[in-house]
Structure 1
Amino acid sequence: MADSATARRSRITPEREAELYEAVLDLLREVGYDALTMDAVAARTRSSKATLYRQWGGKAELVVRAVRHTKPGPVDGIDTGSLRGDLHALVARDDDCTIERNSALMRGVAMAMHNNPDLRREFRDQLIEPEMAEFRRVIQRAVDRGEVRPDCPALDFLLHMMVGGFATRALLDDQPPTRAFLTSYLDAVVLPALGVATP
């Protein structure tokens, strides 16, 4: 499946692909997933609908690939030598403005996933599963270094804790997540739960 998707996308230059993804994300922020149509994407990007379907197969794949395009790089590419350093570096990859924009975008996509199994499946396949695998490698390095006990019960909930801090900031505090908030959250909640001492 990945090979066929790559073959489909190979006809578009990387620059054009990036333009399309930005237009899709702009539309997603403006109207939400349910109201976003391939017709609207075609009009916004001056593309034919046939080209969009040929390259991405449908709205769900196009939206998820657009979201994935904004990711700054693999999580497991960060290796500072400590788990605290790795998690802080992960938070520091985006500035507050980008974090706020991505947070609003992900809230909208998360709501849409409940009613759209195609979007949920694409999101899991293209984003959640790969990122979970990357996080597991980061955590395994911490276990191998002796920072985290391999039987630590919080290990199974690391991603839940990370997503929870990110997602509930707006809900509980009516404020977007910021680098300062997320860094404090890591030191006060996530790292202690894993048995990692913080200054």
Structure 2
Amino acid sequence: MARTRLTPEREDEMYAAVLDLLREVGYDALTMDAVAARTRSSKATLYRQWGSKPELVAKALRSNKPVSLDEIDTGSLRGDFHAMLGRADDCQMEKDSALIRGLSQAVHDNPDLREALRELLIEPEMNGLDQLLRRAVDRGEVRPDSPALKYLPHMLIGAFAARQLVDDRSVDQAFLLDYVDSVVLPALGV
């Protein structure tokens, strides 16, 4: 299927509309018709450009990440984590948390969405996190045999998921910075 050429501005506009719709109605109720109406485009254009709803959603989520983790290198693991968390303000973190919560059930019910998210969002982020951690090991900040290394993604995702559930509050930078300093870095032996 040939893809049409969209300007970067138009693509960003379409991704923003998809994310807004996701926040408003959730994944299951999001339709290509609704995206087409919101973006003043045709369903045919959407399918020609992205192929499927899961791919469109995954690419919209990916576009929401301004910097890849592998681009962050401050010279220390603590600095890298703080730089990573400094990429989004509290308002953006609240929006991202709402998206994560809204997609959590949809991922279990939609294998195509799960696969698209893994391919376009999760795996690139995991590769970036692996590079970030590898540099910390190479600098001697973290032991290469630290048992916490393999659980780092779980710890970070857990902070996003648990804050709303435990404290009835959205994540914010202050919480995540304290979490990294109090939980993540000590678990890694830093």
Residue 32 of structure 2 is matched in structure 1 by 38
SS of the aligned residue for 1:175 comes to: coil
Distance in 1, matches of 2:141 and 2:27, equals 41
Moved over 4 A (4+): none
Match of 2:139 among 145, 148, 153: 145
Distance, in Å, in 2 between the alignment partners of 1:134 and 1:92 is 16
1:72 deviation in Å? 1.5
State the alpha-carbon separation in 2 of the partners of residues 94 and 45 from structure 1. 25
Q: How many residues align?
A: 190
**Residue number among 69, 78, 82 corresponding to 1:75 in the alignment:** 69
Deviation at 1:110, TM superposition (A): 1.6
Structure 1 residue 166: Cα displacement: 1.6
- In structure 2, runs of 5+ residues without a counterpart are none
Could you tell me whether the CA contact under 8 Å between 2:19 and 2:60 is conserved in 1? Answer: yes
Out of 151, 157, 161, the residue aligned to residue 163 of structure 1 is 157
Aligned partner of 1:84 in structure 2 is: 78
Q: Please tell me the residue identity of whatever aligns with 1:53.
A: Y
Which position in structure 2 is the counterpart of 1:57?
51
Instruction: Write out per-residue CA displacement over residues 83-125 of structure 1, whole angstroms, 9 at most, x where no aligned residue.
Output: 0010011111111011001100111012211100110000001
Deviations 1:11-32 (A, max 9, x none): 1111110110111111111111
In structure 2, what is the Cα distance between the partners aligned to 1:50 and 1:107? 30
For structure 1, the 5+ residue unaligned runs are none
Q: Provide the residue aligned with 1:123 in structure 2.
A: 117
After TM superposition, give the deviation of residue 76 of structure 1 in Å: 1.4
Partner of 1:182: 176
Distance in 2, matches of 1:79 and 1:41, equals: 37
Give the aligned residue type for 2:85. V
How many Å separate the matches in 2 of 1:133 and 1:90? Answer: 14
CA distance in 2, matches of 1:28, 1:178: 21
The answer as to 2:90 corresponding to 1:96 is: yes
Measured in 2, the distance between the counterparts of 1:34 and 1:41 equals 13
The answer (yes or no) to whether the contact 2:15–2:60 under 8 Å persists in 1 is yes
**Code of the aligned partner of 1:107:** R
**Partner Cα separation in structure 1 for residue 104 and residue 118 of structure 2:** 11
Query: How many angstroms apart in 1 are the aligned matches of 2:185 and 2:70?
Result: 17
Identical columns (%) = 66
Aligned to 1:108: 102
TM-score by length of 1: 0.93
Q: TM-score, normalised by structure 2?
A: 0.97
Code of the aligned partner of 2:17: A
How far residue 167 of structure 1 moved from its aligned partner, in angstroms, is 1.5
What value does the CA root-mean-square deviation take over the aligned residues? Answer: 1.0
- Alpha-carbon distance between aligned partners in 2 of 1:93 and 1:15, rounded to the nearest angstrom: 21
Structure 1 residue 176 displacement after superposition: 0.2
In structure 1, how many angstroms separate the alpha carbons of the residues matched to 2:180 and 2:20? Answer: 30
